[in-house]
Each structure stands twice: as C-alpha cells, then as structure tokens.
C-alpha cells in the first residue's frame, strides 16, 4: 500500500510538471522546482559550477544590445548572483549552467562572476514587457550594425570565428538568435521579397529588424589606430609607429602586433553569414582579398584574441571607424588627433615634395575623421607631447587589460615605463613634429572598456 501511494505521488508530480511547464515564465530556474530540497540542491549545484568557472578560461565573449538589471528581476539559480549590465557592455562567458543561464562577468574592473541570462532568457524577459527589467533603448551603433542584415541570416559569427568556443549545437548556430522573430521571418518571406523588388537604388524601403540580445565578439577586443590622416603616408605612419614602439616596450610580453593585409571592412556580419547567397565580392580584384579570404582573416583575429594579451591590428585599409563599426570585431579605436588643419598641412609639407603631391587627399581624410561622432572612438590622443600621449594611451590599455584579465599577477600589471626615449623632435617639439600652440588636453572617452 505504501509503495502504491509512492508511485501515485511520483506520477502526479510528473504530470504537474508537464502541464505547467509551458505556462511558466522561465525554465531552468527556481520556479521549476517544487519543494525546498530541490531548490537547495539547485543552489548548491549552481554554487559549485560558479566556483569552478572562476578558474576556467573565457569560452567566448558577447556584446549586449540591451541592458539587464539583475537586482530587479533576479530569478537566477543563486539569488543575488545575477549579472547586471548596460547596452553595449562586453561580457566574458565562462560556462553554461542551463539553457536559461550562462556563467560570466562584465568586462569591467571590479565586476565579479555571476549568472548571465542566455539569449532566449533575455529575449523572454524583454518580451514580457515588465517595467524596470530591461533598458530597451538601442544604441545607434548597434542599430546601424543590423540595419541591412538579412532577417533569416542574422546569426553571430561564432560558427565562423569562434565555433570551438560554444557549449553545444544550440549556441554554435546562434548564441544570440532571436527565436521569436525566426518564425515570423519565415512566414513573411513573400512580403519581404515583394518589398525588396520595389526597393529603388537609394533604398527607400529599409528593413527594420529587431536586434538580437547579444552578438559574439573576440575575447580580447583588438586595437586599431586611425588618424591623423591616411595610412601609407609619412606623417600618419610616423606618429603611429612612435606609439607602436612605446606599446612594445611598456606591455612587453602582454601584447601582440599582427599585420592585416585583407580589407576587414568587408567583414560585415551580414556578408559573412550570407556568402553563399550574396557572392558580391570576387576572389581577387585590384589587390583586395575576396570575401572568403576576409573571413579567414577574421577567424585568425578571433583566435589571436583568445589569449590574455592585447592585440594590435596593423591594417592600412582602415582609416575611419565607420569602416569597422558593422563588423563583429568590436575593436578598440584609438584616434590620433591634430586639432588644427594648418598644423597638419605644415607637417605634410615638411616631409618633402613627394608628400606634398598628396596633400589634398590627406587633408580630406583628416576632415572626414574629425566629423566622426566622438562615441565612435574609445580613446582620443590630442596631446602635443609624445610622452603625454603615450602615458594617456598606456593608462587606458592598462585599465582595459586589468578588466579583461582580473586574475593576472600584480607584478605583470604594474610594469614600469622607464627607459623609453622620446622620439619627438628637440626643444620640446611633440610627436607631431611642431608645437601645436595649445595646452594638452586629455580626452579619454571610454565608449566601452
């Protein structure tokens, strides 16, 4: 009789779980467990996995298109351990707890490891419409990234650049997929195609697709230098080389410099995900790499960024942040700025007749760079003296490295800068070659550390 009652109790419990599963707001969380013993077992398991993840390397990194306030909507496996983040924050993911929760942290100093909502979980919270749970305002950068993406192929580059970093097949295909819009996109194929057929050359009809919760980025954001004008000309190359030499000395074993020959501005996520449907780029044309070669280069950059080292991309084809804003690389953009066009003109003329021939094109490039929104740069170097600019850049990258590698040894973090020789001109001349007649100002703009 006792045995029969036990069997009936088990069957009743299973039936209850099956009937109520679809009606619950979340799964894999505390709401799924019926009694105190199950909740305690879940909490202990979560704490164990959380502790184990502290010593694990970063599996992959994502950038958030929406903010999440874990303190207001914390149904994570361990109460109080949900990770809060803002839109455009970068997150390091260490492990997967279940389909609703990852284990990771925000890439900022002082932020600890905790439970990060998975894409499906974050999307379900967003769709619930409960006030205070999500900060729905989208960044202009993220909006531009997805403006022209194919709605059926808005997948993260994890399969191309970070396929070995995922936890299961679900995350390989799309760790940031939007399940709710996939079915709608399938049903609305005919409507979308008819709109595309009516689209004029100027693109009157624009796709207004919903953003995914996250998109995958390199574990360490690569560093790209732009300015003060065009790369390949003496003034720009001279200034950037001086900063490269400083970084090689200051960060020593913590930095990698890699030459990028492919035009990574072609590596837009829509192109990489739709190369079979949109073969718009030839294999070879005017010295530019084909799309397949660009994708291979992006994969190589992702692999380099898996280490805990800073990665500097030396790429002549990138002269403006707008060229890489739609890519999945999420680079740290360092801008070298000369405030006065007259000073830049004097610098170019001082390099000889060969450089004067190309004065106009260099000035146009500098003007376009000055028109960029300040939020497009992570750090702007407008100091007159090389030493000041180097210190400014060094402090920024030290802060980023500490945020990205919180477990690093203190001795490596605190490397000194002594012994570096100023490569600027004599008598107080800065690395711009001449005095810019202004007081150096620090414009440290941390769009995202």
* Calpha distance 373→165 (Å, rounded): 34
How much is the pLDDT for 38? Answer: 83
| Sign of the dihedral defined by the CA atoms of residues 228, 369, 324, 296, in that order | negative
* Calpha distance 215→87 (Å, rounded): 12
* Calpha distance 387→371 (Å, rounded): 27
User: Helix, strand, or coil here: 358?
Assistant: coil
How much is the pLDDT for 71? Answer: 87
* Calpha distance 410→402 (Å, rounded): 10
* Calpha distance 105→83 (Å, rounded): 7
pLDDT confidence tier of residue 39, bands split at 50, 70 and 90: confident
Q: Is the pTM of this model over 0.75?
A: no
How much is the pLDDT for 269? Answer: 65
Q: Residue 3: which residues within 8 A CB-CB, separation 6 or more?
A: none
| CA angle (276, 280, 285) in 5-degree steps | 125
pLDDT confidence tier of residue 199, bands split at 50, 70 and 90: very low
Mean pLDDT for all residues in the chain: 74
Percent of the chain's residues with pLDDT above 70: 60
Structure tokens at 44: 């202990």
Q: What is the pLDDT of residues 95-127, one digit of tens each?
A: 999 999 999 999 999 999 999 999 999 999 888
* Calpha distance 30→83 (Å, rounded): 17
Interval 193-206 mean pLDDT: 45
pLDDT at 27 over 60: no
CA distances from 89 to 66, 95, 447 (A): 9, 18, 9
Domains of the chain: 42-135+212-217 (2.30.30.40), 220-274+292-404 (3.40.50.300)
Q: What is the pLDDT of residues 252-292, one digit of tens each?
A: 999 999 999 999 998 876 544 444 444 344 444 544 448 88
Helical spans, DSSP H, in 129-168? 140-145, 158-161
Interval 368-372 mean pLDDT: 95
Pairing of strands 67-68, 134-135: antiparallel
Measured between alpha carbons, how far apart are the two ends of the chain, in Å? Answer: 65
Interval 43-51 mean pLDDT: 94
Of the candidates 15, 7, 8, the one whose C-alpha atom is nearest the C-alpha of residue 34 is 15
pLDDT at 45 over 70: yes
Residue reference for tokens 């599996």 = 59
* Calpha distance 308→57 (Å, rounded): 9
**Per-residue burial over 9-38, b = 16 or more CB atoms within 10 Å of its CB, e = otherwise:** eeeeeeeeeeeeeeeeebebbbebeeeeee
Name residue 288's beta-bridge partners.
Answer: 285
Interval 125-131 mean pLDDT: 70
Helix%, strand%, coil% for the chain, nearest 5: 40, 15, 45
Q: What is the pLDDT of residues 407-425, one digit of tens each?
A: 774 545 444 444 443 433 3
């Amino acid at each position: 009789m006792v045995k029969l009652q036990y069997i009936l109790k088990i069957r009743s419990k299973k039936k209850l779980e099956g009937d109520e599963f679809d009606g619950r707001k979340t799964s894999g969380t505390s709401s799924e467990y019926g009694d105190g013993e199950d909740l305690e077992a879940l909490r202990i398991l979560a704490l164990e996995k959380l502790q184990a993840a502290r010593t694990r390397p970063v599996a992959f990194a994502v950038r958030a298109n929406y903010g999440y306030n874990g303190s207001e909507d914390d149904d994570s496996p361990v109460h109080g351990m949900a990770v809060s983040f803002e839109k455009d924050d970068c997150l390091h993911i260490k492990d997967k707890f279940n389909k609703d929760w990852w284990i990771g942290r925000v890439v900022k100093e002082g932020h600890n490891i905790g439970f990060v909502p998975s894409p499906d979980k974050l999307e379900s919270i967003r769709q619930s419409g409960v006030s205070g749970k999500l900060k729905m305002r989208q960044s202009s950068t993220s909006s531009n990234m997805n403006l022209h993406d194919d709605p059926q192929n808005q997948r993260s580059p994890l399969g191309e650049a970070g396929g070995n970093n995922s936890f299961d097949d679900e995350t390989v295909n799309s760790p940031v997929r939007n399940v709710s819009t996939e079915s709608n996109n399938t049903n609305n194929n005919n409507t979308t195609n008819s709109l595309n057929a009516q689209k004029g050359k100027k693109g009157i009809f624009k796709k207004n697709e919903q953003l995914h919760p996250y998109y995958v980025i390199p574990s360490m954001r690569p560093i790209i230098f732009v300015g003060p004008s065009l790369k390949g000309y003496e003034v720009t190359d001279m200034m950037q080389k001086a900063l490269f030499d400083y970084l090689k000395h200051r960060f020593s074993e913590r930095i990698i410099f890699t030459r990028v020959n492919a035009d990574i501005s072609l590596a837009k996520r829509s192109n990489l995900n739709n190369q079979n449907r949109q073969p718009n780029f030839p294999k070879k044309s005017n010295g530019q790499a084909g799309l397949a070669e660009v994708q291979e280069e992006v994969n190589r950059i992702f692999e380099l960024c898996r280490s805990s080292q800073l990665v500097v991309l030396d790429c002549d084809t990138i002269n403006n942040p707008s060229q890489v804003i739609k890519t999945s690389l999420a680079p740290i953009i360092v801008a070298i700025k000369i405030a006065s066009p007259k000073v830049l003109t004097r610098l170019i003329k001082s390099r000889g007749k060969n450089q004067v021939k190309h004065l106009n094109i260099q000035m146009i490039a500098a003007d376009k760079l000055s028109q960029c929104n300040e939020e497009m740069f992570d750090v702007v170097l407008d100091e007159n003296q090389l030493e000041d600019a180097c210190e400014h850049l060094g402090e920024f990258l030290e802060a980023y490295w500490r945020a990205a590698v919180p477990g690093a040894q203190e001795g490596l973090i605190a490397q000194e800068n002594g012994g570096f020789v100023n490569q600027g001109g004599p008598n107080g001349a800065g690395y711009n070659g001449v005095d810019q007649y202004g007081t150096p100002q620090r414009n440290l703009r941390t769009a995202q550390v």
